[in-house]
Structure 1
Amino acid sequence: MNLLGAFSKVSEGIFCTDAPLVCFSHLRWDFVLQRPQHLMQRFAADRQVFFFEEYIPTDHHLAYLEIHPFAGTMVKAVRPRVPHWWNETQRETALAGLLDELLALNGNRQPILWFYTPLMFAFARHVDAAAVVYDCMDELANFKFAPPQLKAMEQALLARADVVFTGGYSLYEAKRDRHDNLHAFPSSVDAHHFRIARNGQSSPPDQAGIKGPRLGFYGVIDERLDLGLIRDIAAARPDWSFVFLGPVVKISQDDLPRAANIHYLGQKNYAELPTYLSGWDVALMPFALNEATRFISPTKTPEYLAAGRPVVSTGITDVVRSYSDVPGVYIAEDAGSFVDACAAALALRQSSTSWLETVDAVLARSSWDDTARRMRLLIEQSMGGPEPLPAEATAPLAGRTPEQPAPHA
């Protein structure tokens, strides 16, 4: 079967009408660039995409919308402002009204509603949508400070959703019995963007003075990191430098490990990441093994590899499942084995680059463009589009081994 031809037909079908897509997210558009931004950028190529964020309290006596354009994208971030003294019922009523106003401004065309947080379904459930999509990229109920009503709202969203995606295979397995149109889509990668790091870039000023070898991490610094492990490996190897890029969220700065060889350089934008990676010898994923990380499928795994850097990670289930057999990926159980794995990764980094041939073959099978295309196909089918294509047409490819679950029910 000509899959490219089939995808071309889909692009002319129901999904690619002028109906707007409203994406409800607990993350700000201009925070850390993650899965939502990658996908919405691509969907915005042929339709208006609104990125509806969490409300912001205001001193104004009325609720209103802020619509923020950003350079380099057609996606519009929508930031509702709600009087800070209103109670939950007043807030939800106001948010529902603001959503209706947004849709009215776009001709009241039936929208596609796309959710990253079930909490926002509370004020959007009344909308007559062309399709409802739940892209469950994390088990938010397991995160620190998760609202108690989150699980109940997720159940309500699952009951309404036309199609459900998960951010990894662990999440797929956990939810496979809760929806009959569920599909696993692990992290993809913009390999071209990160491959720039292999060419040798000038180190940014705030990193240039840090002596090598450099071992680095980028991402949100929160309860998912094993701070004790970081402290121990830095103490075990004072001759190595540990670089951390990213915002500190939900934990105190006072809780961060401090040492002469640990360097926190703050949050960097997506465009800057390859330049920093270029100056690293090894990339790290020192995640704690706890409820918050039980179902994660880190996007940074393929990004680090695309940059040509060996990766050392703790035993995150989806990382072990998808990448433990990939050259350049090392899994460690404790501080001692983590240090040993870093030493092995440093040795690999100083050897030939032949290991990257296998890495590139794996990464070539998973791009954000392909993920968006497969998702579009599944949404099209949920909206009454063409008959389903064979599983290989919609299955995420990178990293899945034969013993892993089928990517969708």
Structure 2
Amino acid sequence: MAEVARGEALKGLRIVWLQSPPWDGLWTRQNHFSRRFAADGAEILYVENPVSFGRRIGEGAGALTASVRRDVEPGLYVMSLPIQIPGSPKSGAIGKLNGARFASAVAKWMRREGWERPLYWCRLPISVEALDRLPPGPVVYDVTDDYAHYAGAEGERALTIAREDRLMRKAGRIFTTTAALAERLGAINPKVQVVPNGVDPSFFAPAPDGEADPLAQVARPRIGHIGLVASWMDLELLAKIAARWPGQLVSIGPVKPEVQAAYEAIPGLIRLPPVHNLELPRYLRALDVCIQPHLALEVRHRADPLKIVEYMAAGKPIVSTALRSLEPLRDVVELAGDHDQFLAAIERSLADADPALQTERVRRARERSWDDLYGSVRAAVTDLVSEDGGK
């Protein structure tokens, strides 16, 4: 990634971004917001969520205990936490033990760098276990999902809710991606602000002259899905699409281990590894229809799918499972209630790529630029720091 110019508007502000997705993985709002804060002069310690024990073993013994810092952009550092003891989501005791170990690694780095009373940016309820053991400072909670719905058992759900309640009561500002999340969380803490997912300005740039087609080996029409393949993916629907358009359905992104075998068994599906955020516009321009074949789970109904906004920025026809969070976009996104409707919607999109709809999709995506969304987030964070006053 090209290095960004660093300003001084937020010089002196230090933010610890606790337990966020891997910096070099699929980009999320955490990447977009943190690098914009850094570009404005803040210093960021971006702490990656620890990976599983099995994955660390695969990386080699050197990864078992190491806590690493590296500069990725001016003022922005990434820390990989020590290996976690399995069981935090289901066990309060293990969660506290891991939280103490993670807090120790972060606090050690802060002492060495002379950081005092930073702002803490949290995105998962489990991060409260580390937060409880770190030096005091103002807290932001950035909520992108209704996390209790991911729990596999009632005990895990209750523990997630209890952790989130603790975190909510510490937070001076809460950002949510949807109004439904804001309504639920506002009953605990009224300092809630809806900040949906957005799109980077680079997605609106026209294709450069002579741009190579990254999917040149794929016959048209091309149907594509970009993003994480996890338990919420409707693999049966994906298989039906691949059977209808064999060798023309492209899936780009990482795959969770629990669905990998079933995903790789789908015939006619072209599977490609993740591509960097800067490369995504090129791949989107190479597609004819973009899809989001998710199961209609409650956790998906409450989320704001980031990839839908990026699809819109490319102006491409979009077909998605009918989710409540996407209802406001029904005029520019085809929402399908079942598999037959989904296949029919792809057929219609391939047959009639309406130029007026393409223009409207791009216009609507421009309304959700990360730059504009960051402006509202920055204002809220600046107010929070001012209210805190270093107390």
TM-score class normalised by the smaller sequence? 0.7 to 0.9
Measured after TM superposition, the shift of residue 109 of structure 1 is 2.2
Q: Who is 1:175 aligned against?
A: 185
Identify unmatched segments of 5+ residues in structure 1.
1-10, 386-409
Which residue matches 1:325? 331
Is the 8 Å Cα contact of residues 18 and 47 (structure 2) preserved in structure 1?
A: yes
Q: What is the CA-CA distance between 1:64 and the residue it aligns to?
A: 5.3
Q: CA RMSD in A?
A: 2.9
Q: Residues 17 and 68 of structure 1: is their aligned pair in 2 closer, same or farther, counting only changes over 3 Å? A: closer
Gaps in structure 2 of 5+ consecutive residues:
1-7, 88-92
Distance 1:341 1:83 in 2: 44
Distance in 2, matches of 1:184 and 1:77, equals 27
Deviates more, 1:253-262 or 1:174-183: 253-262
Q: What per-residue deviation string (whole Å, max 9, x for no partner) do you get for residues 150-201 of structure 1?
A: 2211110001100100122232233231211001111111143354459884
Distance in 2, matches of 1:199 and 1:285, equals 30
CA distance in 1, matches of 2:148, 2:228: 18
| Residue correspondence of structure 1 range 233-382 to structure 2 within 5 A | 233-235=241-243, 237-238=244-245, 241-256=248-263, 258=265, 260-321=267-328, 323-326=329-332, 329-349=333-353, 351=354, 353-382=355-384
Q: How far 1:132 sits from its partner (Å)?
A: 0.3
Contact 2:314 2:362 in 1 (8 A): no
| Counterpart position of 1:25 | 19
From 224, 227, 235, the equivalent of 1:227 is 235
Q: Rate the CA distance shift 1:265–1:211 in 2: closer, same or farther, 3 A.
A: same
* Gap change, CA 1:191 and 1:30, over 3 Å in 2: same
| 1:339-393 Cα shifts (integer Å, max 9, x gaps) | 11112211332x5x333332333222221111111011112223346xxxxxxxx
Instruction: Say if 1:198 and 1:224 are closer, same or farther in 2 by CA, change over 3 A.
Output: farther
Aligned to 1:40: 34
With normalisation by structure 1, the TM-score equals 0.80
Instruction: Give the superposition deviation at 1:128.
Output: 4.3
| TM, length-normalised to structure 2 | 0.84
Residue 203 of structure 2 corresponds to residue 193 of structure 1: yes
Answer yes or no: is the 8 Å Cα contact 2:198–2:368 preserved in 1.
yes
Distance 1:199 1:347, change over 3 A: farther
* Letter paired with 1:324: R
Partner of 1:209: 217
For residue 122 of structure 1, report the CA deviation from its aligned partner. 0.9
Letter of the structure 2 residue corresponding to residue 80 of structure 1: L
Q: 1:83 to 1:284 in 2, by over 3 A?
A: closer
Instruction: Indicate the residue corresponding to 1:119 in structure 2.
Output: 126
| Runs of 4+ with deviation above 4 angstroms | 56-64, 82-87, 144-148, 197-200, 257-260
Per-residue deviation at 1:73? 5.9
Greater percentage in helix: 2
What CA distance in whole angstroms lies between the structure 2 residues aligned with 1:189 and 1:371? 10
Change over 3 Å in CA distance of 1:254–1:96 after alignment to 2: closer
Contact 2:119–2:385 under 8 Å retained in 1: no
Please state how far the C-alpha of 1:49 moved relative to its aligned partner.
Answer: 0.4
State the percentage of identical aligned residues.
Answer: 25
1:50 partner SS: strand
Question: Compared with structure 1, are the counterparts of its residues 20 and 333 closer, same or farther at alpha carbon in structure 2 (3 Å cutoff)?
Answer: same
The 1:228/1:131 distance shift into structure 2, 3 A limit, reads same
Shift, 1:318, TM fit: 1.2
Sort the Cα spacing of 1:106 and 1:314 in 2 relative to 1 into closer, same or farther, 3 A: same
Cα deviation, residue 234, structure 1? 2.9
1:101 aligned to which of 108, 117, 128: 108
Higher relative contact order (CA 8 A, sep 6+): 1
For residues 96 and 377 of structure 1, do their structure 2 counterparts lie closer, same or farther at Cα, with a shift above 3 Å needed? same
Cα offsets for 1:239-268 (capped at 9, x unmatched): 672110011114232212745532111222
Q: Which moves more between the two structures, 294-303 or 216-225?
A: 294-303
For 2:11 and 2:212, the matched residues in 1 are separated by: 45
Q: Distance in 1 between matches of 2:118 and 2:50?
A: 20
Amino acid at match of 2:349: A
In structure 1, what is the equivalent of residue 70 of structure 2?
68
Using the alignment, how far apart are the partners of 2:359 and 2:64 within structure 1? 58
Native 8 Å contact 2:317 2:358 kept in 1: no
Deviations 1:196-242 (A, max 9, x none): 459884222xx32221111000000011111111122333x246721
Q: Structure 2: which amino acid aligns with 1:151?
A: I
Q: In the alignment, what sits opposite 1:184? A: 194
Secondary structure of the 2:45 match is strand
Return 294-303 or 165-174, whichever deviates more: 165-174
* Number of equivalent positions: 364
- Using the TM superposition, name which of 61-70 and 46-55 deviates more: 61-70
